Amino acid sequence: MAIPDRHGRFGPYGGRYVPETLMPALLELEEVYQRTRRDKRFQAELKHYLKDYVGRPTPLYFAERLTKRLGGAKIYLKREDLCHTGAHKINNAIGQALLAKRMKKPRLIAETGAGQHGVATATVAAMFGLECEIYMGTEDMQRQALNVFRMRLLGATVTGVDAGSRTLKDAISEAMRDWTTNVRTTHYVLGSVLGAHPYPMMIRDFQSVIGREARKQILAAEGRLPDGLVACVGGGSNAIGLFHAFVPDKKVKLVGVEAGGLGIESGKHAARFAGGRPGVLQGTMTYLLQDDNGQVNLTHSVSAGLDYAAVGPEHSFHKETNRAQYTSVTDDEALAAFDLLAREEGIMPALESAHAIAEVMRSAPTMKKSQVLIVNLSGRGDKDVQQVARMKGVTL
């Protein structure tokens, strides 16, 4: 059985809950994508840019000092932070920009939370000579001022969204409204495995290069598959990207880490599997933080990239079928993980990726030294230095 099915369903999750105005664009995108993914010229072009522009394959690095310090399983880091622009987001942005060129759409729009996807989209727009507008919640613009300036340096227009919680969710709504209005000339480069079909499938496919590489690399390094994979889950594109190639390997445990914010019991978090139930937001049926009436809850995380009320529908499917486990770590635990990785390995992780490291700090010590974990280091932490200083009460 193909996942998703031809209606974009991962079991009961996914689908296409959008205004009619967008339906023809989604159907066209699906058709072009299905045709293009089998096109050898497209695949060669994508491979070329991933290698020579993004810098793939990214290393799978054995974190020896971190492993010793935690005293359990061997820890490997998949270094997506070494991609051009500093995060895995560009794997998807390149793929979608190539599709936009094929559909002859001269304008790209995107939403961004942490700013990494916005930077990636602005980057490929510059490289391909496309017009670019990025929507970003004003709260996130404040948290990620550096990335806002980077996008502007790359020639993109950054438009602040001052509605709702002024974060990722509101930026997506505004991008969808723009797309609804300008659909004839514009391609919406959605940044995570969210939204209406075919986005969750297509973005998974573009990100699955992470897991394909990691699988080969760990077989070369260890001569066997890992015992577990760990990745942070906002929308969940870096996690799906790492997991996808390993899904048939039933002995490999898949662990997604959500943002626990100030703690699940505080209500101020973004842990959809801990506090949510299935619903529809921004095009897809999935686990969603909502009240009894179906109004979407405000979320909290120190990490803008995880601060979102819904999760990618394929994660809901993996949760329901028990193929993956989902857990959460708090803001404070993520900050401690940020410090640990910086001091032990000389790598500052993005606060998003620090959530995955924090989970490894809990689980690795309980595992045998012969066991192996791969953690997706989805982005680098330079963008978060100011935020980390704020959390530590340091004035720069």
Partner 1 sequence: MLNFELTREPRATNDKPEEWTEDMNRLDHTLSQLKAKGEKALITYIMAGDPSLQETEQLVLELEHAGADVIELGVPFSDPIADGPVIQKAAERGLRSGTSLRMILESVRHLRTNTQIPIVLMAYYNNIHAFGEAEFCRKAVDAGIDGLIVPDMPPDEAGPLRGPADEAGLHLIFLLAPTSTAARRAYVAKESGGFVYYVSITGITGAKLNDIAGVRDNVAKIRKHTKTPVAVGFGVATPDDAARVADVADGVIVGSAIVRRVGEHGQDGRLIQEVGAFVRSLKAAMQPA
- Choose between 87 and 134: whose C-beta lies nearer to partner 1: 134
Q: Is 21 exposed, middle or buried (0-12, 13-18, 19+ CB in 10 A)?
A: exposed
Side-chain-facing half-sphere of 112: CA atoms under 13 Å: 35
Active site residue 268: no
Instruction: Determine which one of 78, 80, 105, 111 is catalytic.
Output: 111
Q: Strand pairing of 372-377 and 60-62?
A: unpaired
Cα separation, 57 vs 133, in Å, equals: 29
CB of 176 to partner 1, least distance (A): 5
Instruction: Determine which one of 192, 301, 316, 378 is catalytic.
Output: 378
Q: Is there a contact between 102 and 73 (Cβ–Cβ < 8 Å)?
A: no
Token pair in block for residue 265: 């019991």
CB of 246 to partner 1, least distance (A): 31
Q: Is there a contact between 43 and 212 (Cβ–Cβ < 8 Å)?
A: no
- Choose between 152 and 177: whose C-beta lies nearer to partner 1: 177
List all residues 6 or more positions away from 170 whose beta carbon is below 8 Å from its beta carbon.
Answer: 137, 161, 163, 164
For the chain, the distance separating the N- and C-terminal CA atoms, rounded to the nearest angstrom, is 54
Active site residue 222: no
Cα separation, 245 vs 1, in Å, equals: 16
CB of 174 to partner 1, least distance (A): 9
CB of 294 to partner 1, least distance (A): 3
Instruction: Determine which one of 78, 89, 169, 319 is catalytic.
Output: 89
Token pair in block for residue 293: 């009436």
Which positions touch partner 1 (CB under 8 A)? 7, 15-25, 163-164, 169-170, 173, 176-177, 180-184, 279-283, 288, 290, 292-296
Beta strand extents in 268-334 (DSSP E only): 277-281, 284-288, 324-330
CB of 19 to partner 1, least distance (A): 4
- Choose between 293 and 322: whose C-beta lies nearer to partner 1: 293
Token pair in block for residue 18: 């959008």
Three-state SS for 195? coil
Q: What residues are paired with 110 via a beta bridge?
A: 134
- Choose between 5 and 339: whose C-beta lies nearer to partner 1: 5
CB of 188 to partner 1, least distance (A): 12
- Choose between 21 and 321: whose C-beta lies nearer to partner 1: 21
Q: Which helix (H) or strand (E) holds 43?
A: helix 40-49
- Choose between 95 and 276: whose C-beta lies nearer to partner 1: 276
Active site residue 378: yes
> Which of the residues are catalytic?
89, 111, 378
